[in-house]
Amino acid sequence: MTDLSPQTRLALLEAGLDPAAVADLVRRALEEDLAGGVDATTVATVPESALSSGDLVTRAEGVVAGLPVAAAVFDLAGGAVLTPVVADGAVVAAGTPVASVAGRTRVLLTAERTALNLLGRLSGIATLTAVWVSAVHGTGASVRDTRKTTPGLRALEKYAVRCGGGVNHRMSLSDAAMVKDNHVVAAGGVVEAFEAVRSAFPGLPVEVEADTVEDAVRAVEAGADLVLLDNMSAAELRRAVAAVAGRARLEASGGLTLDTAYEVAATGVDYLAVGALTHSAQVLDIGLDLAVLAASSVTDAPVDADPSAV
């Protein structure tokens, strides 16, 4: 496998993604697909000298996310070049070319599924996020993700949420604290749990989950920066907003649907926590339409047992 191109590395950095982490993920995905062997169909049918170009084309309307990640796949599979036609975050119709690719045909075909898996997954998250953002437009509330992400893909999936107009919650367990019901049970109460975290990590942002308006007020009076209002009705959310009176940010969570999103957002909360953005997004269908530019005879294709040859 080759390395990331300077252009891809820069695009990943500009997207807020770690090039080394993306490269590691992509290498593992490509290796998973080859399983220590070769792309047998491609090696048998495509001459080594064949060159191709093609377009990555949407089969449905959606929001694009992950083009720099797809570029990394083609880079690392053998140095094929992906050139974006649109930018991540663009809303596109079905049939829209979102990027072009060019290089050795073997490389393009071997990289195709890995690139499309990642691009389609991230674009699906961005598309669903945009639907939620549109649903609460005009309320002042933001749509926020959770840690309900695919293991190993969190940074990419949270990037996709940003592409769709959403905002990120904490990236990990260490960059912010969140006192949930089990922490409350273990500590002996909402205030006790909050104070324990504040004492152990004085500079860390702390969010506290509250099941009642009274618990929300207690958390705020103890000094909580953010209160998660769990499974509350719209009426309870309005009561909590009035009781907190701007002393902390408020996040509605639990049982949220697109049908109720506007009503919940209109209560005055700051955020809607929507785990579905990452755990239930439908992949955006994107395909590779390829055209062979130059090739020798198919019978000249060597059957090479070295995975690096494809």
What phi, psi does 17 have (nearest 5°)? -110, 150
Which one of 18, 24, 61, 180 is the catalytic residue? 180
Q: Residues 32-74: pLDDT tens digits?
A: 999 999 999 999 999 999 999 999 999 999 999 999 999 999 9
Pick from 17, 22, 16, 29: nearest CA to 4: 22
Which one of 157, 209, 251, 270 is the catalytic residue? 209
Q: Which pLDDT score, from 0 to 100, does residue 297 have?
A: 41
Q: Under 8 Å CB-to-CB from 11, ≥6 apart: which residues?
A: 67, 68, 71
Q: Which pLDDT score, from 0 to 100, does residue 2 have?
A: 79
Give the confidence band of 215 by pLDDT, cuts at 50, 70, 90.
Answer: very high
Known catalytic residue at 158: no
SS3 per-residue string spanning 23-52: HHHHHHHHHHHHCCCCCHHHHHHCCCCCEE
Q: Residues 167-211: pLDDT tens digits?
A: 999 999 999 999 998 998 899 988 899 999 999 999 999 999 999
pTM: 0.92
Task: Show the tokens assigned to 12.
Answer: 């990943």
Task: Show the tokens assigned to 133.
Answer: 């953002």
Residue burial 174-200, b: 16+ Cβ < 10 Å; e: rest: eebbbbeeebbeebeebbebbbbbbee
Q: Which pLDDT score, from 0 to 100, does residue 240 have?
A: 98
Which one of 27, 113, 154, 238 is the catalytic residue? 113
Q: Which pLDDT score, from 0 to 100, does residue 310 have?
A: 36
Which one of 39, 215, 230, 270 is the catalytic residue? 230
Give the confidence band of 31 by pLDDT, cuts at 50, 70, 90.
Answer: very high
In angstroms, the CA 262 to CA 284 distance is: 25
Report strand pairing: 177-179 vs 206-210: parallel
Structural domains of the chain in order of their starting residue, each with its CATH number: 6-126+285-309 (3.90.1170.20), 136-279 (3.20.20.70)
- In angstroms, the Cα distances linking 50 to 30, 109, 158, 245, 297 are 21, 11, 38, 67, 9
Q: Residues 228-279: pLDDT tens digits?
A: 999 999 999 999 999 999 999 999 999 899 999 999 999 999 999 999 999 9
Pick from 286, 275, 21: nearest CA to 166: 275
Which one of 27, 148, 154, 249 is the catalytic residue? 148
307 secondary structure, DSSP code: G
Q: Which pLDDT score, from 0 to 100, does residue 295 have?
A: 54
Q: Which pLDDT score, from 0 to 100, does residue 308 have?
A: 39
Known catalytic residue at 113: yes
Q: Residues 282-307: pLDDT tens digits?
A: 999 999 999 866 654 443 443 343 43
Known catalytic residue at 180: yes
Q: Which pLDDT score, from 0 to 100, does residue 181 have?
A: 87
What is the arithmetic mean of pLDDT over 125-133? 98
Q: Under 8 Å CB-to-CB from 7, ≥6 apart: which residues?
A: 71
Q: Which pLDDT score, from 0 to 100, does residue 293 have?
A: 65
Q: Residues 132-164: pLDDT tens digits?
A: 999 999 999 999 999 999 999 999 999 999 999
Amino acid at 288: L
Known catalytic residue at 48: no
